[in-house]
Structures are given as structure tokens and as C-alpha cells.
Structure 1
């Protein structure tokens, strides 16, 4: 899916309707409840996805580091363009945007664009449901180990950053509880820590831990 999404970004950036958009840290690229009507093409961006309750409390749902992909794709295919979530920039950067009218024209000229967008929507929906079910059905330790394994898989040299406060928030846990489990894994010599970076040293034991937690 990632390759197809990258190819779609490359294709859309060639459109005469595509324009550069600059943003700074803290800017809302997409606002919950607002009709933005744009497709965002991001490359190597740090973003957070949040949901605001009726009372106004903000819940961070996920963080993405070095995110390259498309945002706003669901609103393109909905009659009501209002976004369900807000997406915030975690650093200063730039992206490319195309408004709904012109992306519709691009789809008319090349229907494959619509198919690619629908594949992206389907893939993200499946991933979000999977993550939600893990958080609901499995204990905190399971989700921490799952996070460690995923981050290790995507690291270049085995070492990866782990932001305890952000990750504990995503799991609805306190930072203290999160750190307690990390310390237990360190004491068991399953992972290493240097500064704010971690490395897995016994992957098999961690994988077995997940298997033994199966419901």
C-alpha cells in the first residue's frame, strides 16, 4: 500500500491544481467538525491525530513520525465534508494540497486515482480497527511490547525512540504505569536503553509474550 500511495502522491503533485502549503508546529491541518475540502500530500511529516469531546477535552489518538502519505481522503468521498478528527503538525514543514473541486476533475480524467484513494481508506480503516481492538482487549503490557516490536521493525540500526508520555496517553495509561512495565522488561534483559532510545535484545521472548496473551 505504501508504494501505491507514494506513486499517487507523485502523480497528484504533477497536477496544475496542486499547490504548496506551508505550516508551523501546532497548526491544525484538518479541524474536527470543519469542512476543509482539501486533499493533503505530506512527506516526512510529524503529525498527531486528535479527537475533541463535546466538553472540549482533547484526546490524542495517534502520533506519526516521518509520515509520508495522503490526508483528507475520506472527506473527498463524503457528502458531508466535516472531518471526524483533527490533525495537528508536530513540527514546521510544508506539504501540497488540492481542493475538492480539482481532485474531482483529476479523478474524472484518471479513475485509477479514485481506486487508489479507496484502497488507502480501506487499509487505514482496517489498521485503526486492529489497533483499537488491541487496546480494548489486551492489557497494557501487551500493547507496550507490541509497540516495541513495531518500532524495532521500522528502525534502521535496531535503536528507536520511545516517547513514554505520548505513548502512555495513546493507551489511556499513566506514564508511571508505562515506565514500570518498561523497567520490568529492562530487568529481564529483554530490552536495552540508552538515553531516550531503546533496543530489543530478546525478540523471541517478547513475541512469545504476545502469543501467551492471546485471548
Structure 2
């Protein structure tokens, strides 16, 4: 698939699943009021999309858009059903995959609810610095704000706070860790509050 094409569109019914062999995708949700939340841009390799909707029978929950050329295999629903009947261990693998995804998303969402925006931005920066998340940031501020579920103005205010406190700095169009030790102390203090 080409950059800009959608694998799945929010609100539509699932016609088939996609096995992504390689590429970059953005996962986002648009609320009825027009506000968008982006789960970010992901480097995807050997991952199935559409499995939640396959099992629940509900409409597609998120937009999944290609951000690069994406190598993909289309899996008709009926083929996956037959595969699960013939090879039950595939169902176990899918269950584990769904549980991992659920746990990851719940950890991220809980952090967004329980800690201030500046903390979540700082933690994201640190994870990128440590190599635990891909070193990819959107070049436009509104895209970064969408990843944290806030407006551009609120995002800029939180980033300014991190810069003023010496935790982060701007390098070109990217936000980077200014002082790793100081940033780690800040995160630990926020977690203890």
C-alpha cells in the first residue's frame, strides 16, 4: 500500500484483516466532536490489524493510515475463521497478542489520566532517548498534541514548562532530552506524589 492509504477506517465494518509485513502506520481516533487522538506513528513488522473487530463484530475503532510504503497481506474473515478451526494454537497466539496490546494501551492511557501532561511528554522523551520507543516525532506540533490528546496550545505550554525547568530542549524541529539525570529525577518525583 502507498503512503496516505488507509488499511482500516473508523466506523466501517471489517471486510478483511491485514497482516503487515513491514512499514510505518499512524493509528488515530476521531471523536464525534471532531477532536482527534493519535496513538502515534508506529514501525510495524509482522503485525495483524483488524483482530479486535474480527472477534467483537463491532465497527472498526481506529483509523490506520500508511505513512510509508507498507507490505501487507489481506486476510479474508472466512480464511481466518477456517485457520482458527484447523489450528487452535493460532487462537492462543491471537489471545496472547490481544492481551499484550490491551496491557500496553491501558498502561499508556492510565498514565495519561493519572499524571500531568508535562510528565507524559517527559516520559515519552526519555523512552525515545533510551531507545525503548522509535526516535520518530511528527514535524508539526498539532500532530504531537494529538498523540497526547490535547490542543496545540496546551501541548506548547507543557513543552515550555519542560524547557524552562531544564528537562528538555529544542534541537531543530525536534524536542530532545536536555539532562537525562534531571529528567529521571523529575519523573520519579511525579510518580511519588
Same fold (TM over 0.5): yes
Query: Which residue among 120, 131, 136 is the counterpart of 1:154?
Result: 131
Could you list the structure 1 runs, at least 4 aligned residues long, displaced by more than 6 angstroms after superposition.
Answer: none
Residues 42-87 of structure 1 show CA distances to partners (whole Å, capped at 9, x for unaligned) of 13422222223345x2523312232222211112222x24222222
CA spacing shift, 1:76–1:149, aligned 2, 3 Å? same
Deviates more, 1:62-71 or 1:85-94: 85-94
Q: How many residue pairs were aligned?
A: 189
Deviates more, 1:29-38 or 1:145-154: 29-38
Give 1:176 deviation, angstroms.
4.2
Give 1:198 deviation, angstroms.
4.7
When the two structures are superposed, what TM-score results if normalisation uses the length of structure 2?
0.81
1:46 is aligned to 2:24: yes
| Structure-1 separation of matches of 2:62 and 2:158 | 30
Query: Which residue among 71, 77, 93 is the counterpart of 2:55?
Result: 77
Whether the aligned pair in 2 keeps the contact of 1:34 and 1:81 (CA below 8 Å) is: no
| Structure-1 separation of matches of 2:154 and 2:147 | 13
CA spacing shift, 1:160–1:191, aligned 2, 3 Å? farther
When the two structures are superposed, what TM-score results if normalisation uses the length of structure 1?
0.74
Contiguous gaps of at least 5 residues in structure 2: none
| Structure-2 separation of matches of 1:52 and 1:109 | 37
Whether the aligned pair in 1 keeps the contact of 2:25 and 2:41 (CA below 8 Å) is: yes
| Structure-2 separation of matches of 1:155 and 1:128 | 15
Could you say which residue in structure 1 is the equivalent of 2:14?
36
Could you say which residue in structure 1 is the equivalent of 2:190?
213
Give 1:102 deviation, angstroms.
0.7
Query: Which residue among 181, 185, 191 is the counterpart of 1:204?
Result: 181
1:113 is aligned to 2:94: no
| Structure-2 separation of matches of 1:33 and 1:186 | 39
Deviates more, 1:161-170 or 1:126-135: 161-170
Contiguous gaps of at least 5 residues in structure 1: 1-22
| Structure-2 separation of matches of 1:54 and 1:188 | 37
Secondary structure, aligned partner of 1:87? strand
CA RMSD of aligned residues (A): 2.7
Whether the aligned pair in 1 keeps the contact of 2:14 and 2:54 (CA below 8 Å) is: no
1:102 is aligned to 2:79: yes
Secondary structure, aligned partner of 1:148? helix
